[in-house]
Structure 1
Amino acid sequence: MNGIIVGAGRVGYNLAKKMQTEHDITVIEKDHDRFVRASEDLSCYVVHGSAANTSTLEKANIQSADFFVAVTGNDEVNLLSSVYAKEHGVSIISSKLNNPDHSSIFEKLGIGFINPERSVVRFITRMIIRPSAQSLVTLGKGGAEILEFTVQNEELDGKKISEIENDSPYFKIVSKFVNDEDDAIIPNPETIIEVDDSVSVIVKNEYQKQVQHLFTNE
């Protein structure tokens, strides 16, 4: 997939580093020092400029992007660039929301946002790798939550994610941690789940108890 990440600060840099091995990533950064660092350290195409300028986005080949992520510290830049991406038909868009007071305008313009209090890098990565999970989340309105479970149900041991989910409209497994390792495994439908794995699951709020029981037998 072709992706654009706006901002090479801590979140943007780590997100690009995490995704560059599997995707063609372009990073946009206005600050010169961050631009130089990203250019030297990342295996990505890095554009120097403001994403609030259409010429910069065009230089980043916005028309060919499959996903677009804006994670600068400036909500105006994040919003404007995301709207431009939406107008150019980018199918997956996520934006970092710095000031909760701005959430209403993001919602009004149909731009999905993520509060930086969450684990932004992991969350965006999951949303891009498994976009089907996006349909479960009413961003900004709390229609679903990401919950983490340690698998204790032995009936799930050795099963593929596709078998566990069984096309459920109520939950999606979006990451797996093995033996409490820090790095998440971004799963696909063939990924095997085993007892004692930790999994992150997007769950519709009204089905949390059922899904918890499925994984933990509690």
Structure 2
Amino acid sequence: MRVSIAGAGNVGRSIAAELLENGHEILLIDHDPRAIKADTLPDAEWLLADACELSSLEEAGIDSCDVAIAATGDDKANLVTSLLAKTEFGVPRTVARVNHPKNEWLFNADWGVDIAVSTPRLMSALVEEAVSVGDLVRLLTFREGEANLVEMTLPQDSPCVGQRIGDMEWPGDVVLVAIIRDGHSRAPEVDGALEAGDELLFITAQSYEDELAELLSPRGEPGRVVQRTPETL
């Protein structure tokens, strides 16, 4: 997969290093000569240019990219880069970094943004996830499928503790995708049993969240959904 990254600062280079390690082709773009540090990532392509300029993106050959990431420290630049990549060059997937929470509302399809990544929102959701045993916490929203990634740490007195996973009847289209136990993630096994303290990760439509929370919560207690949607994929 070919990926362009606008912004070759610490964030952009970190993303590039991870993607290169996974075998992807990376192009880093930055208008500041001081950010061009080709020796730090010799396997990446580097371009000294302004990613907000149409001519720069043409020079970069961004139309051949599968994903365009806007990772600068300037929200305006990230929005313009995403819009050009999507509307002018037809890049299939755009990812934009949100630096200031007050600007989050702009990072949507109208500005060519498929995925908006907001660090403050993500940290808030992770705090909720860490302290909310027995609450269903919404972590991610998948825009196109209108599905959410939700998490619950199974409380000791949940009626589901000890239940065989293969015997569980989840509401609607709910899918249990992973279990985190003792700090290690594992795929759900049909013959495995749920244990108190398990962190359960589900994919579900929002309409089934309340029912899922009710199923997992202790008997006699209403299920609670923590209304946090830090990211949209």
Q: Same fold judged by TM-score > 0.5?
A: yes
For 1:129-148, what aligned pairs fall within 5 Å after superposition?
A: 133-136=142-145, 146-148=149-151
Q: 1:86 Cα deviation (Å)?
A: 0.6
Give TM-score, length-normalised by structure 2.
0.59
CA distance in 2 between counterparts of 1:101 and 1:78 reads 15
CA distance in 1 between counterparts of 2:5 and 2:181 reads 28
Contact 1:133 1:202 in 2 (8 A): no
Alignment-derived partner of residue 119 in structure 2: 116
Cα distance change on mapping 1:83 and 1:110 into 2, 3 Å = closer
Cα RMSD after superposing both structures: 3.9
Alignment-derived partner of residue 188 in structure 1: none
SS of the residue 2:47 aligns to: strand
Contact 1:6 1:27 in 2 (8 A): yes
- 1:94-144 residue CA offsets vs partner (Å, 9 max, x unmatched): 211223443444444342422221459xxxxxxxxxxx944246xxxxxx6
Alignment-derived partner of residue 4 in structure 1: 4
Which runs of 5 or more structure 1 residues have no equivalent in the other structure? 121-131, 138-143, 157-164, 186-190
Query: What amino acid is the match of 2:117?
Result: I
Which runs of 5 or more structure 2 residues have no equivalent in the other structure? 124-140, 155-160, 219-233
SS of the residue 2:91 aligns to: coil
- 1:64-97 residue CA offsets vs partner (Å, 9 max, x unmatched): 1111111111112111111111121111112112
Cα distance change on mapping 1:217 and 1:73 into 2, 3 Å = same
Higher helix share: 1
Contact 2:80 2:111 in 1 (8 A): no
Paired residues, what number?
A: 181
Contact 1:136 1:203 in 2 (8 A): no
Establish whether residue 51 from structure 1 lines up as the match of residue 54 from structure 2: no
Alignment-derived partner of residue 208 in structure 2: 207
**Structure 1 stretch displaced more, 146-155 or 23-32:** 146-155
Percent identity, aligned pairs only, is 25
Contact 1:136 1:169 in 2 (8 A): no
Alignment-derived partner of residue 41 in structure 1: 40
Give TM-score, length-normalised by structure 1.
0.62
Contact 1:136 1:171 in 2 (8 A): no
Cα distance change on mapping 1:83 and 1:193 into 2, 3 Å = same
Higher strand share: 2
Establish whether residue 69 from structure 1 lines up as the match of residue 69 from structure 2: yes
Query: What amino acid is the match of 2:25?
Result: D
CA distance in 2 between counterparts of 1:169 and 1:62 reads 38
SS of the residue 1:135 aligns to: coil
Cα distance change on mapping 1:32 and 1:110 into 2, 3 Å = closer
Query: What amino acid is the match of 1:71?
Result: A
- Rg larger for: 2
Alignment-derived partner of residue 80 in structure 1: 80
